[in-house]
A and B are shown apart, each in its own frame.
Chain A
Amino acid sequence: MDALSMGLVAAMGALATVAGASEDIESDIGSQSNPNSQVQLAAQVGNPHRIYNKAISGEPPANALWATTAAVVAYTLITKFAMPALFAIAIGASVAALFNGVFSTSAYFGRSASQRRFNQWIYLDIVRYTTTSIMAHAWITAFCITCIAYIQTAILTPHHPFPMPVIALIWGLTVGAIGSSVGDIHYGGEREFQWRLFGQGLNTMLSGQIVRKAEAGLRNSIDNAWFCTKLGGPLTGLGFGLTVFLDNWRTTVFDPVTQAGLAIGMGLFFVIIMNLYNFYVETSIRKKYGPYPGYKGDIAA
């Protein structure tokens, strides 16, 4: 272990945290992924809305596409045109953001147009100012992930044997999986449905009854991003940051050639700690919140 490697691992962790947060907010502004099922349903149950609707695909393949596109462009510029890495990655991320813009716009038009029979309108003002916000967040995600891939393949020792685009593909899939598992709950479980009892998930009877009014005027996707930035985004960043940092920390602090056992043992230690921490969270919230008042079964709380 040397100071440079440790600094690089810390930088990767920081980049991953930013990438995770921007990935989740990108999906919240665009209303991609799982909670979008409710946005889709809303118009069908008589609630046309002004929420952006771009379920291009699941978040992992979508983000894998943005990150890989950025990495392929950056890799080409670095290797064939000897461009400085930072500029090359920035250009790569810009190309990825353009791809994202094309997909987002066509997804919004396609999905909204297909719901014409439910009186769902296409709002051109929404397209104009929301699409650029989505693209900006996709740019940040693609930039950070490509930076991580570059650090892993070109600077951090031992260099990773996979080429930069493959690493970007895998981290893109991973950040999408984490964003879809963590941040989406804040959007779907909390933001979309705010006029129901607090402290429980969505009752099936309320499916499609999403909140359509904002603090002022009608709610749009930028309002949702404002809310989800408070917790869903940062926690997604924390999840992805933990994954990248802890996984690389153990192989940087312990030499994988001579101390492979220690590197693996340290990883197992992290896993056990996280299992125990989840048990602590479960126990503490059971005590704090207690059982649901309406429960009429035989099993004691």
Chain B
Amino acid sequence: MNFDALTIVYILEIVVGGLMVGIGVHFVPVGGAPAAMAQATGIGTGTVQLAAGSGLTGLLAAGLMMSVTDNIWPILASGAVGAMIMMDATMLTGGWIYAYAVGAPFASAKVNYDPITGYSQPPYVAPGTVGQGIPTVCYVSGTIGALMGGIGGAMIYYPLMMTNHNPSLSALFAIGIFLVNAVLASWNIQGTIEGFHDPKFKRWPKAFRSCLVATLILALVAVTITGGA
């Protein structure tokens, strides 16, 4: 293969995509297993699983868009929108269970007032728990996280597709690079985070550095695989 200027651009795009995924995971409000018992604020599942679910839904949308155009902007936008739809549908229906089945009002234990709505939080935190449900700030943060994850996934897929012109190979490699970055970010936040208002969010530079190194190595490998197409 030729290692020309275009290849370097592709490598940079993959790296930027990986970084978007790594930082985007920090925005997604996940409460892990405790949230499934309405014991912690956020979505009751693991960081990587939710980020992968939304980012890869975005990848499907981006893949469909890339089959009809080579213009990068609609591909990125379509990926972002697909991921946001998945994340928002999940948070909305999950919120209904907290609201109408568990019967608990949404509350964050990390801030006294919701930065977006200004609603007070501590009086609504159930005794013996660290918040529950998905308050507006977490919902908006999750949407931003999905936006970044969707763009990131599409941005990894696009250069791979331009290099090897094989959708299945590109998709699988994009899924792999996506998961590596999501797992690195998940370690950084130690499993649970409420969103951009959470003190843990300030740790993102560490994830940035590790994702940069990991994605750079993966990008170098990825662009050399030209596939059988």
Q: Beyond A174-B56, A177-B53, A247-B57: 9 further Cβ-contacts under 8 Å?
A: A160-B60, A162-B63, A177-B52, A189-B36, A189-B38, A189-B97, A247-B82, A256-B69, A286-B106
The reply to whether the CB of A44 lies closer than 8 angstroms to some CB of chain B is: no
For A177, what are the chain B residues with a Cβ–Cβ distance below 8 Å?
A: 45, 49-50, 52-54, 90
Would you list which residues of chain A between 284 and 301 have a CB under 8 Å from chain B? 285-286, 289, 291-292, 294-295, 297, 299-301
Interfacial residues, chain B to chain A (CB-CB below 8 A): 32-33, 35-40, 43-46, 49-50, 52-54, 56-57, 59-61, 63-69, 74, 77-78, 81-82, 84-86, 88-106, 112-113, 117, 119-129, 132-136, 139-140, 143, 167-168, 171-172, 175
**Complexed CA–CA distance, A160 and B60 (Å):** 8
Closest 7 CB pairs of A and B: A201-B38, A177-B53, A203-B128, A267-B81, A200-B126, A291-B123, A34-B36
A37–B33 CB distance below 8 A: yes
One of B36, B65, B69, B112 near A185 (C-beta < 8 A): B36
One of B44, B49, B86, B139 near A247 (C-beta < 8 A): B86
Q: List 26 A-B contacts (CB under 8 A).
A: A59-B49, A60-B49, A158-B67, A162-B60, A162-B168, A166-B172, A177-B54, A182-B94, A189-B44, A200-B38, A201-B38, A201-B126, A201-B132, A202-B38, A231-B100, A232-B101, A238-B93, A251-B64, A256-B65, A260-B77, A278-B139, A282-B99, A282-B135, A291-B123, A292-B126, A297-B123
**Complexed CA–CA distance, A270 and B39 (Å):** 29
Interface segment out of the listed A90-98, A126-134, A190-198 = A190-198
Closest B residue to A159 using CB positions: B67
Interface secondary structure of B, over-half rule: helix
A239–B89 CB distance below 8 A: yes
**Complexed CA–CA distance, A151 and B122 (Å):** 48
A247–B85 CB distance below 8 A: yes
For A291, what are the chain B residues with a Cβ–Cβ distance below 8 Å?
A: 123-124
The reply to whether the CB of A114 lies closer than 8 angstroms to some CB of chain B is: no
The reply to whether the CB of A112 lies closer than 8 angstroms to some CB of chain B is: no
A180–B84 CB distance below 8 A: no
For B36, what are the chain A residues with a Cβ–Cβ distance below 8 Å?
A: 33-35, 180, 184-185, 187-189
**Complexed CA–CA distance, A267 and B64 (Å):** 15
Closest A residue to B86 using CB positions: A243
Known: A161-B66, A189-B38, A232-B101. A203 touches B92 (CB 8 A): no
Minimum Cβ distance to chain B for residue A118 (Å): 20
**Complexed CA–CA distance, A231 and B96 (Å):** 10
**Complexed CA–CA distance, A161 and B170 (Å):** 11
B37–A202 CB distance below 8 A: yes
**Complexed CA–CA distance, A114 and B202 (Å):** 40
B82, B122, B123 interface centre (most CB from chain A within 10 Å): B123
Would you list which residues of chain A between 133 and 182 have a CB under 8 Å from chain B? 158-163, 166-167, 169-171, 173-174, 176-178, 180-182
For A159, what are the chain B residues with a Cβ–Cβ distance below 8 Å?
A: 67
The reply to whether the CB of A12 lies closer than 8 angstroms to some CB of chain B is: no
The reply to whether the CB of A105 lies closer than 8 angstroms to some CB of chain B is: no
For A102, what are the chain B residues with a Cβ–Cβ distance below 8 Å?
A: none
Known: A59-B49, A193-B37, A271-B143. A257 touches B123 (CB 8 A): no
The reply to whether the CB of A211 lies closer than 8 angstroms to some CB of chain B is: no
Known: A182-B90, A251-B64, A257-B68. A289 touches B46 (CB 8 A): no
B85–A270 CB distance below 8 A: yes
For B53, what are the chain A residues with a Cβ–Cβ distance below 8 Å?
A: 60, 173-174, 176-178
**Complexed CA–CA distance, A139 and B18 (Å):** 35
Minimum Cβ distance to chain A for residue B215 (Å): 20
Known: A189-B98, A275-B143. A301 touches B64 (CB 8 A): no
**Complexed CA–CA distance, A173 and B86 (Å):** 12
The reply to whether the CB of A263 lies closer than 8 angstroms to some CB of chain B is: yes
For B82, what are the chain A residues with a Cβ–Cβ distance below 8 Å?
A: 247, 267
CB 8 Å contact bits of A252-283 with B (1 = contact, 0 = none)? 00001100110110011011001101110111
One of B39, B89, B128 near A242 (C-beta < 8 A): B89
Minimum Cβ distance to chain A for residue B6 (Å): 22
The reply to whether the CB of A246 lies closer than 8 angstroms to some CB of chain B is: yes
Closest B residue to A273 using CB positions: B88
Closest B residue to A255 using CB positions: B68
Known: A160-B63, A176-B49, A184-B36. A300 touches B90 (CB 8 A): no
**Complexed CA–CA distance, A38 and B44 (Å):** 14
